[in-house]
Amino acid sequence: MSSIITLSSEGHSKTEVKQSVFIGAAVRADDPDSAIRFVDGQRDLYPDAKHTVYAWRVSGDQFMQKYSDDGEPQGTAAMPILTLIDRAGITNVAVAVTRYFGGILLGKGGLVRAYTDCAKLALTDSHPVELVKGISIGITVPYQLSDRLRFELMNLPCEIKDTVYLQDVRFIVDISADDLDRISSAVTDITGGVALIDKIGEVLIRGREISL
């Protein structure tokens, strides 16, 4: 997988249509279990609501998705949310919209618009982002150089994922494959050639933000 589009944070929304209140939430879910726990959690938050509609999609070792109208007329709730996810190309995502019925029927078209709008607001609030192919590297330096290197790395196109303190200090850093030569050269200059750099493996790193 060279890239995916997923969510960078948890998103929330709340809309009202003809006295019915719609409460949306969207999260990144990297496996079916986390998606199921999210949906169950949303139901627990609003136990007195009549409907908690959801749709989730996970792409890992295998593609899986599930959705439910939770008592709303078929095709008026979960499918519009799934269509929204489809069109944006988002995966590893779970969206739930809870409805408190206000006593006025919205009709099928009104339901589709209401669920779509609430889900879109929640997804937008979660800041969809493209994750692109990158690499994880290890940079090992003596303790006396670690503070300076950390400071300089924060000004380079990379992300420090972990720091291991043993005999020396080892930074685990995610970078774009295109930036490997640049980062390696900069680290060599900063540390006077003392740093040891090794490639750990391929990862997905944050790329451009996606507009819905």
pLDDT tens digits, one per residue of 168-205:
999 999 999 889 999 999 999 999 999 999 999 998 88
Q: Kindly tell me if the per-residue pLDDT of 208 is higher than 90.
A: no
Residue ranges of the chain that CATH labels 3.30.230.30:
3-126
Cα separation of 174 and 161, whole Å? 7
Cα separation of 98 and 177, whole Å? 42
The class of domain 132-209 in CATH terms is alpha beta
Note the pLDDT tens digit of each residue in 43-53.
Answer: 999 999 999 99
Instruction: Output the CA torsion sign for 181, 153, 200, 8.
Output: negative
Q: Kindly tell me if the per-residue pLDDT of 1 is higher than 60.
A: no
How does the average pLDDT of the chain come out, rounded? Answer: 94
Binned at pLDDT 50, 70 and 90, residue 207 comes out as: confident
Averaged pLDDT for residues 80-102 = 95
Averaged pLDDT for residues 33-44 = 96
The class of domain 3-126 in CATH terms is alpha beta
The one-letter code for the residue type at 123 is: L
Given a contact cutoff of 8 angstroms between Cβ atoms, the answer to whether 211 and 89 are in contact is no
What pLDDT does residue 110 have?
Answer: 96
Given a contact cutoff of 8 angstroms between Cβ atoms, the answer to whether 29 and 58 are in contact is yes
| φ, ψ of residue 191 in degrees (nearest 5) | -100, 5
Binned at pLDDT 50, 70 and 90, residue 211 comes out as: confident
Residue ranges of the chain that CATH labels 3.30.70.240:
132-209
DSSP H helical ranges for the chain:
32-45, 78-88, 107-125, 143-153, 180-191
